[in-house]
Amino acid sequence: MSPYSFPTTISARDIQRGYKKVFDTVKKTKKPVVVMANNNPQAAIISLEMLDRYNAIVEEYELWNMIDQIRAKNADKNEDEVMKDVTEAVEEVRQEMYEKTFGRS
């Protein structure tokens, strides 16, 4: 059997009548339920575990997207120069943090 199957659907009216049963089913099966109104999908009810996995995937995607943007922006830069600039910037931030914490030296 394929791990991908057509999601279970339920009408919005059935949700109003028996939301607890739907929530229990989603929690037990860990499979989403699509809520339909006028034969159109309106929302999905998913388990907290699935929501956590989704959020982790989105976070990782955004991180890699940011890395790709930085790489593209710096494609024409010399690696040694970039490292020097980054090191200088880190030292500036460290000095600012030190001064905020311990006062000017």
> Residue 71: its pLDDT value, please?
84
Asked if residue 20 belongs to a domain, the reply is: yes
Which domain, by its residues, includes 8? 1-45
Do 73 and 54 form a contact (C-beta atoms < 8 A)? no
Regions of the chain short of the pLDDT cut 70: 1-4, 105
Asked if residue 39 belongs to a domain, the reply is: yes
Q: In whole angstroms, how far apart are CA 23 and each of 16, 33, 67?
A: 12, 9, 38
> Residue 79: its pLDDT value, please?
86
> Which CATH number do you get for residue 32?
3.40.1620.10
CA angle (50, 56, 60) in 5-degree steps: 145
> Residue 17: its pLDDT value, please?
94
